[in-house]
């Protein structure tokens, strides 16, 4: 479980193809400072397991399903990624509950800058907007964000300068793919309503 508060931007140091899977080695000095093999780390919001540690570099294994259904399959050497260690009991809950299970890859449909601020529109599958509400929460590339507008097949968020500087969203442009996870509570409410209608 995660909170959607990115701890640092890591950089991909090496990608090793293993059939349909891949080893992804990421340098992240802060995140690697107190992790162990077997720990879970959110990479652009996708929960992966640490399989080896080499000083400040962590290596993860991503299977074909993960590579196909997230934007991790588009990473190259030198790519920046958002990193977050898993939530520990007793920690402050600054974001919202994030499982690290990606629902879909959305596309940046529009970006408008206003000084150091920015508003983004993301195009997503229509099935996911039923799990969204204005002023609710969404996770974009592992970042807990507040929804501004929600339409049939897209939604918007407004980003403060800190978020743009401290995460990969500052480098995102129209056409880029981002990992989306809708609010966990919304999923359960939708499922309960579905069963109550039958």
Q: Are residues 134 and 183 in the same domain?
A: yes
Q: Is residue 98 part of a domain?
A: no
Q: Which domain holds residue 182?
A: 104-196
Q: Are residues 55 and 121 in the same domain?
A: no
Q: Summarize the confidence of residues 103-110 as an average pLDDT.
A: 98
Q: Is residue 2 part of a domain?
A: no
State percent of the chain over pLDDT 90. 84
Q: Which of 85, 117, 142 is the last residue of a domain?
A: 85
How high is the pLDDT of residue 198?
Answer: 59
User: Higher-confidence residue: 192 or 83?
Assistant: 83
The answer to whether residue 186 scores a pLDDT higher than 90 is no
How high is the pLDDT of residue 187?
Answer: 75
Q: Which of 24, 52, 85 is the last residue of a domain?
A: 85
Q: Are residues 141 and 183 in the same domain?
A: yes
Q: Is residue 180 part of a domain?
A: yes
How many domains does the structure of the chain reveal? 2
Q: Which tens digits make up the pLDDT trace of 165-174?
A: 999 999 999 9
Q: Is residue 163 part of a domain?
A: yes
Q: Are residues 66 and 149 in the same domain?
A: no
Q: Are residues 36 and 108 in the same domain?
A: no
Q: Which tens digits make up the pLDDT trace of 14-56?
A: 999 988 999 999 999 999 999 999 999 999 999 999 999 999 9
> Of 20-34, 35-49, 68-82, 180-194, where does mean pLDDT reach its minimum?
180-194
Q: Are residues 58 and 138 in the same domain?
A: no
How many whole angstroms separate alpha carbon 1 and alpha carbon 15? 26
CATH of the domain at 77: 2.40.30.20
Q: Are residues 78 and 147 in the same domain?
A: no
Q: Are residues 129 and 63 in the same domain?
A: no
Q: Is residue 13 part of a domain?
A: yes
What band does 87 get if pLDDT is binned at 50, 70 and 90?
A: confident
Threshold 0.85, pTM exceeds: yes
């Amino acid at each position: 479980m995660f909170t959607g508060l990115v701890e640092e931007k890591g950089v991909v140091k090496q990608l090793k193809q293993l059939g349909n899977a891949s080893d992804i080695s990421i340098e992240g000095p802060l995140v690697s400072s107190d992790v162990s093999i077997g720990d879970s780390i959110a990479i652009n919001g996708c929960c992966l397991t640490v399989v080896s540690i080499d000083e400040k570099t962590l290596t993860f294994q991503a299977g074909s399903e993960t590579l196909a259904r997230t934007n991790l399959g588009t990473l190259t050497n030198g790519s920046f990624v958002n990193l977050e260690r898993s939530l520990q009991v007793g920690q402050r809950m600054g974001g919202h509950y994030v499982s690290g299970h990606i629902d879909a890859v959305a596309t940046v449909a529009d970006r408008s800058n206003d000084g150091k601020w920015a508003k983004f529109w993301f195009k997503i599958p229509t099935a996911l907007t039923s799990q969204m509400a204005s002023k609710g929460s969404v996770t974009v590339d592992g970042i807990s964000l507040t929804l501004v507008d929600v339409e049939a097949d897209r939604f918007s968020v407004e980003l403060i300068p800190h978020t743009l500087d401290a995460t990969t969203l500052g480098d995102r442009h129209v056409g880029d793919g981002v990992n989306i996870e809708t609010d966990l509570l919304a999923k359960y409410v939708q499922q309960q309503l579905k069963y109550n209608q039958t």
